[in-house]
Amino acid sequence: MTYFKKLACVGELLEEGLKRYPQNIAFIEVNRDKETARLTYEYFRSQALKLANQIHLDVTPGSHGAILMSNQSRWPLCATAIFWCGGIVVPLDYKLTPKEQRALLAHSESKILFIEWPIYERWIKEGIDFPSNLRVIVSEVPSVFPTAKRFEGSTRAPVIDHDRWEQLFETNDSNEPMFKKVNRSREDIACIVYSSGTGGTPKGCMLTHGNYLAQAEVLAKMFPIKPNDRYFSVLPTNHAIDFMCGFLLPLQFGSAVVHQRTLRPEFLAATMKTYGISHMALVPLLLKAFENKIRGEIDQKSKLVQKILYALMKFNRLITYRKPWYAFSKILFRPIHSAFGGRLRLMFAGGAFVDARTAEFFYALGLPVAIGYGLTESGTVLTVNNIHPFRADTVGQPIEGVALEIKNPDRAGIGEVWVKGPTLMKGYFKEPELTQEVLLGGWLKTGDIGQVDSTGHLKLFGRSKNMIVTEGGKNIYPEDVEALFGSIDQVEELCVFSTSFVWPGTDLKKEKLFMVVRSKSGEQDKNL
């Protein structure tokens, strides 16, 4: 798409999209069953300008600004302001412990931190101090401070000595910038994203503006977005998938992003139904929870109805073999589609291995799941199943511009996955030696074990560090074994590993393959 090619940076990308659809809804905030905010593109842009006016002395071109918030419209608002100041966004995971967050914040050398009150409160409670020379802006500060009893055991008093979010917007009513917007080049760093994706200690992946623009161009072509679409932001926005699908892409095409402050399944389902969600990205665990809920409701039907439903699923799978037929599938399974809002066209799944049977189950219902594969080191996605035709047994083919090779393959063609393309990071922040270990001649060593079939689809088996070699020289991939036994209904969770053990007649030098299984409540182990 020529539109993306003419852009130089993410800040310019956001500015173009926000000006194109001023009256469209950009973000909808929901807390359980109550809508708390609704922002138009024009209002979002004006707020981002006001925020940029307040921080441009702290966030100079090339300096770092960290965001530590849960899913909400303030997150992309902060990121937009940082980009317009020419800064580098540092997304931090709000699910980490305060000590872990503090360590990453210090490593990032950020000049400013946007943090919400519940997270700030945990820092205070655990006695965590903020780095010196750091401007801290706290959102959602309660009007009445909690009593000291709430912070029992803390060495700090519950007094906020940093800037409050609301105060930033009280001193400047102008929608026009008092600062000059700074456009960066495609080679400049846009974000430093911390990841443990290639194993070990979290590392700051330096991703450029060109990385994100190249990714946005390809995904927009593969999965077109319309102005009346609504994306459900379930994954944290600091996650690579949501950063792209729940922030950068929707704002280019006039669509809205819906945030829900709770992840309780009943409220997620209600939100999807209320707002007519068309797209969402989710982790396999949540996808499995949706499947279990649907199967549970089917199991409550009579045997005859169950047979009819499963027969219709087989029929729909046959009819939609080459590509989805949403209208037809919706007629066959109207109650199920209605439960998901009646407009759901596509779910993106990634971040972990997706059970092929789960993906097949949803496709048979006319609710396609696009299975993808990517690393933080490579932007959002490297391969994806574009569902034309749908396949659940692989993570798809390389996206446009990405080259993929299997290094040192065995007889079955299984080896380490190496990739090359316009979305690869520049390297790890302040870690040149680690960078040299994973980036070789323009190729990224993923550390993942895979195989490419005759159609160019990639099948993953697991991490190279997880591979177990038996006494007979056979390679065992724990993820494969776990997927096989994990499909048994009575299994709650399991773990596969190799170890040596003390037992009469055993050799301590030889490791054996073990599996620890926890059955579901009420199930007898003998039934497994």
- Do residue 106 and residue 229 come from a single domain? yes
Residue 498 has pLDDT above 80, yes or no: no
Q: Which amino acid is at 165?
A: W
269 plus 337 within the same structural domain: no
| Contact yes or no for 394/181 (Cβ under 8 A) | no
The answer on 457 and 383 residing in a single domain is yes
Residue 158 has pLDDT above 50, yes or no: no
User: Tokens 């929608």 sit at which residue?
Assistant: 175
Do 69 and 63 contact (CB within 8 A), yes or no?
Answer: no
Residues 54 and 166 reside in one and the same domain: yes
- Regarding whether 40 and 69 lie in a shared domain, the answer is yes
Q: What would the pLDDT profile of 7-24 be if each residue is shown by its tens digit?
A: 999 999 999 999 999 999
- Cα pseudo-dihedral 199, 101, 14, 42, rounded to 10: 150
For residues 450 and 458, the answer to whether their CB atoms sit within 8 Å is: yes
> What pLDDT, on a 0 to 100 scale, did the predictor assign at position 473?
46
Among 239, 257, 275, give the residue marking a domain's end: 275
- Mean pLDDT calculated for residue range 321-336: 94
CA distance 478 to 498: 9
CA atoms within 13 A on the CB side of 205: 28
How far apart are alpha carbons 273 and 275 in whole angstroms?
Answer: 6
pLDDT category of residue 162 using cuts at 50, 70 and 90: confident
Check residue 382 and give its pLDDT. 95
d(CA 198, CA 440): 14
Domain match, 454 and 471 both = no
Whether residues 391 and 318 fall in one domain = yes
pLDDT range class, residue 167, cuts 50, 70, 90: confident
At 173, is the pLDDT very low, low, confident or very high (cuts 50, 70, 90)?
A: low
Please confirm whether the linkage preceding 389 is cis (ω < 30° from 0). Answer: yes
Q: Which residue's entry shows tokens 């194109």?
A: 20
Residue 151 and residue 158 in contact, taking contact as beta carbons nearer than 8 Å: yes
Domain around 521: 467-527
The 3-class secondary structure across 271-293, one letter per residue, is HHHHHCCCEEEECHHHHHHHHHH
Average confidence (pLDDT) over 47-53: 94
Q: How confident is the model at residue 157 (pLDDT cuts 50, 70, 90)?
A: very low
Interhelix angle 303-319/284-299, nearest 10 degrees:
130
Kindly state whether residues 43 and 118 are assigned to the same domain: yes
Question: Mean pLDDT, to the nearest integer, of 341-350?
Answer: 91
CATH of the domain at 405: 3.40.50.12780
First and final CA of the chain: distance in angstroms? 52
Asked if 267 and 334 sit in the same domain, the reply is no
Place of tokens 């999965």: 223
Tokens of 162: 């940093």
**386 versus 252: which is more confidently predicted?**
252
Instruction: Measure the CA–CA gap between 347 and 287, rounded to whole angstroms.
Output: 9
Q: Is the pLDDT of residue 115 over 60?
A: yes
> What is the structure's pLDDT at 462?
79
Q: Is the pLDDT of residue 528 over 70?
A: no
Token pair, residue 370, equals: 């696009």
Cα-to-chain-centroid distance, residue 393: 21
Region 148-163: what's the mean pLDDT?
54
Residues 76 and 196 in one domain: yes
For residue 508, pLDDT beyond 50? no
- The overall average pLDDT reported for the chain is 87
3-state secondary structure 163-174: EEHHHHCCCCCC
Do 406 and 506 sit in the same domain of this protein? no
Alpha helices by DSSP H, listed for 176-333, are 209-222, 240-243, 265-275, 284-299, 303-319, 326-332
Question: Which residue among 411, 432, 464 closes a domain?
Answer: 464
Query: What is the Cα–Cα distance from 206 to 293, expressed in whole angstroms?
Result: 40
Average of pLDDT values for 229-254? 95
Separation CA 484–CA 310 (nearest Å): 22
Nearest Cα to Cα of residue 1 among 201, 250, 252: 252
Question: pTM here?
Answer: 0.86
CATH number assigned to the domain comprising residue 156: 3.40.50.980
- Cβ neighbors of 176 (< 8 A, separation 6 or more) are 49
**What's the CA gap between 376 and 71, in Å, rounded?**
19
* Total domains present in the chain: 3
Per-residue DSSP letter, 129 = P
Q: Please tell me whether residues 205 and 167 are part of one structural domain.
A: yes
CB of 350 closer than 8 Å to CB of 241: yes
Please say which residue of 210, 244, 275 terminates a domain: 275
Q: Which of 208, 204, 207 is nearest to 185 (CA)?
A: 208
